[in-house]
Amino acid sequence: MDIAIPFEHGGNIYKAVRQKNNTRFIDYSANINPLGLASNVRAAIVSSIEDIIHYPDPDAHDLKIALSKFYQIDAAGLTLGNGAVELLYVLCHVIKPQRALVFAPSFSEYERAARACGANVEYGYLDESKDYTINLAEIIPQLKKIDIVFIGNPNNPTGTLTTNRQLEPFIAAAKQENCLVVIDESFIDFLPEDQHYSCRQFVHHYSNLIILHSLTKFYAIPGLRLGFTLSSPYIANLLHAAKDPWNVNTLAQIAGVAALSSLDYQAKTKEVVQLAKERFFADLCAIKNIKCYQPTVNFILLNLEKAGMTAAELKYLLFNKGILIRDCSNYPGLSPYDIRLAVKLPEQNSIILAALKELLKDGKSS
């Protein structure tokens, strides 16, 4: 049996602080809303501190109702998780797939969750020359030999998007082969509009479709851990039976309800991130010897090969300047020269832009 190997993620600010004697870091390695906590979410958490003397609501009733209303989905198909990643593992342990398909590059926890339950994992390598777009029609013939397939939409770390019109025939073909399709929409809230991309509306028609969704990134609450799956009620019942009944803590549930009511915060986030992303991308493209891939949400994939510097080397140099980035060399399908940067506010983005211009001005190899 394949063993899930350790995989280092971005966002480990604690380790960085320990390594650098309590230095204050600017973290571009984790793709979190740069606006930080919404004021009403902060107030809801603070005012609910006394509630932690009680067990969390095992039904997450109020949060499920809020999610159902906000996304216009059936609450009977919702399963709440201590972050979306927890539900990946619960799902795989319940379904016990023998063969999983993971696109490469993509979020590493798809593979680790599949391997954790003993599945053999196959890669569907994405073509760099085509900006890592997913060719779904090419994959359909493989579905006869696959039990579960994972698709990030938008995909992390490439940022590539696939429309729901492109995805629906693939989901239908997978259903014919009794293959589950997990579509991870954890970054979809950052899109100005998602009606052409989200597959939420297909769940009632395709019993093999499972939508994975994180709330921690858009609402800047990764330390609380909060996510959900949307599936058929049958799969939702399987997940509920397999998970810890109190897996979503009281403060996370309260924060989630407050976050979904933060309409001004949601609108401001989309506007601010969209403008910051476009400006950041243009400024990065202007730096000599960097290849930038077109972003769709709040992160940007870069390649440093022409600069003659590896991701690990740049990461080390920036670390010593109090800046964290995501070295993407451990993603299957990426190279030792690939990095990912989170989109922050313009004044924060200017800090790493200045550092990159200094470090890469001539290219290491010149």
Q: What Cα–Cα distance (Å) separates residue 180 from each residue in 59, 188, 263?
A: 25, 21, 34
Report the top-level CATH class of 13-30+264-359: alpha beta
pLDDT at 25: 86
Query: Which pTM value belongs to this model?
Result: 0.94
pLDDT at 361: 73
Q: How many CA atoms lie within 13 A of 88 on its CB side?
A: 27
Domain covering 39-262 assigned CATH 3.40.640.10 in the classification: yes
pLDDT at 63: 98
pLDDT at 365: 39
Q: Which amino acid type is present at position 334?
A: L
Rounded to an integer, what distance in angstroms lies between the CA atom of residue 230 and that of residue 212? Answer: 7
pLDDT at 244: 96
Q: Are 260 and 280 in contact (CB under 8 A)?
A: no
The domain limits of the chain are 13-30+264-359, 39-262
pLDDT at 172: 98
**DSSP 8-state secondary structure symbol assigned to residue 195:** T
Quickly tell me which residue has 């320990």 as its tokens: 18
Q: Which residues pair with 181 in a beta bridge?
A: 149, 209
Rounded to an integer, what distance in angstroms lies between the CA atom of residue 101 and that of residue 85? Answer: 17
Mean pLDDT for back-to-back runs of 10 residues, the chain (366 residues): 50 62 83 97 98 97 98 98 98 98 97 97 95 95 97 98 98 98 98 97 98 98 97 98 97 98 98 98 96 97 96 95 95 97 98 96 51
In the three-class reduction of DSSP (H, G, I as helix; E, B as strand; rest coil), residue 321 is classed as coil
Q: Are 206 and 175 in contact (CB under 8 A)?
A: yes
Rounded to an integer, what distance in angstroms lies between the CA atom of residue 140 and that of residue 208? Answer: 15
Q: Please indicate whether the domains covering 13-30+264-359 and 39-262 agree at the CATH topology level.
A: no
Rounded to an integer, what distance in angstroms lies between the CA atom of residue 116 and that of residue 103? Answer: 18
Query: What does the chain come to in residues?
Result: 366
Short-list 135, 145, 150, 121, CA closest to 210: 150
Rounded to an integer, what distance in angstroms lies between the CA atom of residue 45 and that of residue 254? Answer: 7
Structure token pair of residue 50: 């006394």
Q: How far apart are the first and last CA of the chain?
A: 46
pLDDT at 215: 98
